Amino acid sequence: ADISVGGWSIRRVSMFNRNADNYPSTDEAVMLQRFASDTTKKSSAVWLNRNGLRFYRYYQPIYMQEMCTTCHGKTEQMDPTVVERLQQLYPNDRAVGMSAGDLRGMFVVTAEWPAGEDQARKIVSGSSN
C-alpha cells in the first residue's frame, strides 16, 4: 500500500482468491494461465497503451510453498480450527485445496508512464516513504 502511489499500483491476484477484490482482470487471467502452463517462467513484463496513457506492467507468479498449505492446503489435512476460522471469515473462500508447487496467484505491478517515473526513482533509491 505504501508503494501504490504516484502513478503506481501493486496488486496480488488469483483465480483461487480468498478476497473477491483479488480476482484477476481478463489480461491478468491470461498471464496466470501462461505461468500455470510454464512453471519455469519467473516473471513477465509488457508496455500497454490504453486511452491515450502508457503503462508498464510487471507480473511475478506466486507458487505455493509447503508452509502455505497451513492455510491454503487440502482442508482434510489442515488443522480443524484453521478450517473453521477460514470458513467464518471467508464463507466463499476459493483459496484452499492447493499443494506445494501449485500456482497460487501473482503479483501485478502497474506504473503509469511518465507519471510513475518519480515514484520509480524513489523505489530504486530506497526512499519510497
Instruction: Report the chain's mean pLDDT, rounded to a whole number.
Output: 88
In a 13 Å sphere around the CA of 111, the CA atoms on its Cβ side amount to: 17
pLDDT (0 to 100) of residue 8: 82
* 92-110 residue pLDDT tens: 999 999 999 999 999 999 9
Contact, 44 vs 95, CB < 8 A? no
pLDDT (0 to 100) of residue 117: 74
Is residue 123 predicted with pLDDT exceeding 70? Answer: no
**Alpha-carbon dihedral sign for residues 54, 22, 109, 106:** negative
Is residue 127 predicted with pLDDT exceeding 80? Answer: no
pTM, entire model: 0.80
Secondary structure in 3-state letters for the chain? CCCCCCCEEEEEECCCCCCHHHCCCHHHHHHHHHHHHCCCCCCEEEEEEECCEEEEEEEEEEECCHHHHHHHCCHHHCCHHHHHHHHHHCCCCCCCCCCCCCEEEEEEEEEEECCCHHHHHHHHHCCCC
* Main-chain phi, psi angles of 61, to 5 degrees: -70, 155
pLDDT (0 to 100) of residue 1: 60
pLDDT (0 to 100) of residue 94: 92
Cell of 106: 501473482
Is residue 126 predicted with pLDDT exceeding 70? Answer: no
pLDDT tier, 128 (very low <50, low <70, confident <90, very high otherwise): low
pLDDT (0 to 100) of residue 108: 94
Cell of 32: 496466470
